Amino acid sequence: MADQHPYRFCFGPWNISEGQDPYGPTTRPPQSFDWKLAQLKKHGFEAMMFHDDDAVPDIDSKSGTQVRKEAKALKKRLDDFGIAAEMVAPRLWFAPQTIDGAYTSNDPKCRRYAIDRSLRCLDLAKDLGTDLIVLWLAREGSYIRESKDAARCIDYLVEALDRMLAHDRRIRIVIEPKPNEPMDHAYIPTIGHALALAGLTRDPKRVGCLIESAHAILAGLDPADEIDFAMRFGKLWSLHLNDQNGLKYDQDRPFGNVSLRSAFDQVRALERHGYGKKGEYVCFDVHPFRTTKPEHWLDALLNSRRTFLRLVQKARSFNEKAARQRIENRDYQALDQLVIEHLLGPAK
């Protein structure tokens, strides 16, 4: 059963984080990239996600030739480990040029910076052997509504995507929507927005999306419905599973931490549509708790994967026939309890 699952797992170096929050410093000592890569391998994950500057630190200060040299050296190290690069994401929310947004900044010079950096990211992705570019549009939104024209910002986003699609005809772009944080309101808050934006680009076939459970919850949506929606369009090309306790700051909790039932529904939706069968990875965008000791550093990731695999078993052993009967009989009360009993397991 679950040992025959088609799933392959991945995480990013930022998921082995040091415990800092806006109100306090780190609680664990920093670790080198090589240590993180070794941990990923040791624990049986098959791919790593990269920000462009995880792959090539200080990327803005380096020449194109230098970036490509470092990217090729990294690819060799990944090959030696037997680890794939799942994707590369331009980190467009750190630099001074992105203070007022990246592609949607009011300053044309800053918009140019964002596009130039994205094109370098595409070259980097090619050197790392992946065709997947993730765009978490962190600062593309507003804090002061009147400061920007939201319709013009859509044009800016389309222009940026078009430049990337034209730069490399092989790459695929996945948009990772999030409704807020760091912005008050993001321009692309949901999967529906992401796919609508894809439709305006020069090559919609190469623009898909990535669902993060916590981001869907922050938008007041059901992550399982977002999965069903994206997969109905054949557009779910990556996934950040985690959990979130209601409408507050982005929490990146372990998968299933808040709602086991919602996690079950997400896994059931993935199973129903065969997520992973075209090579898509299951990524966990989770962070250890601030209180976590260094010796338990990987537990948020390992527990998320364990919970995921347990829920794959639960999805595969769910009594679909009994569920169908209850649906036909419009006895949703009994259907509800069927799910609850299944998740609880046999009574002692």
What amino acid positions are annotated as catalytic residues? 51, 54
Name the segment binding Mg ion (CB under 5 A); options: 137-145, 160-168, 210-218, 296-304: 210-218
> CA-CA distance, 99 to 325, in Å (whole number)?
55
Query: Token pair for residue 135?
Result: 């765009």
115 binds, among Mg ion, ligand GLO, none (CB under 5 to 8 A by kind): none
x/- binding map, residues 231-250, to Mg ion, per CB under 5 A? ---------x----------
134 binds, among ligand GLO, Mg ion, none (CB under 5 to 8 A by kind): ligand GLO
> CA-CA distance, 345 to 77, in Å (whole number)?
44
326 binds, among Mg ion, ligand GLO, none (CB under 5 to 8 A by kind): none
263-302 residues near Mg ion, rule: CB under 5 A = 285
Nearer to ligand GLO, 209 or 315 (CB): 209
Helices (H), the chain: 33-42, 52-55, 64-81, 108-128, 150-167, 191-199, 213-218, 223-232, 260-273, 299-316, 320-328, 332-344
131-160 residues near ligand GLO, rule: CB under 6 A = 134, 136
Greatest pairwise CA separation for the chain in angstroms: 67
> CA-CA distance, 64 to 124, in Å (whole number)?
9
Q: Is 212 in the site for Mg ion (CB under 5 A)?
A: yes
Q: Would you state the torsion angle of the CA atoms of residues 27, 30, 34, 40, taken in this order, to the nearest 10 degrees?
A: 10
Start-to-end Cα distance in the chain: 24
Q: Is 53 in the site for ligand GLO (CB under 6 A)?
A: no
Give the interface size with ligand GLO as a residue count (CB under 6 A): 9
x/- binding map, residues 6-25, to ligand GLO, per CB under 6 A? --------------------
Chain position carrying tokens 């990294």: 74
- Candidate list 117, 139, 240, 314; residue touching ligand GLO; CB under 6 A: 240
Query: Token pair for residue 205?
Result: 């076939």
x/- binding map, residues 81-100, to ligand GLO, per CB under 6 A? --------x-----------
Sign of the Cα torsion 97, 105, 166, 231 reads positive
Binding site for Mg ion (CB under 5 A): 212, 240, 285
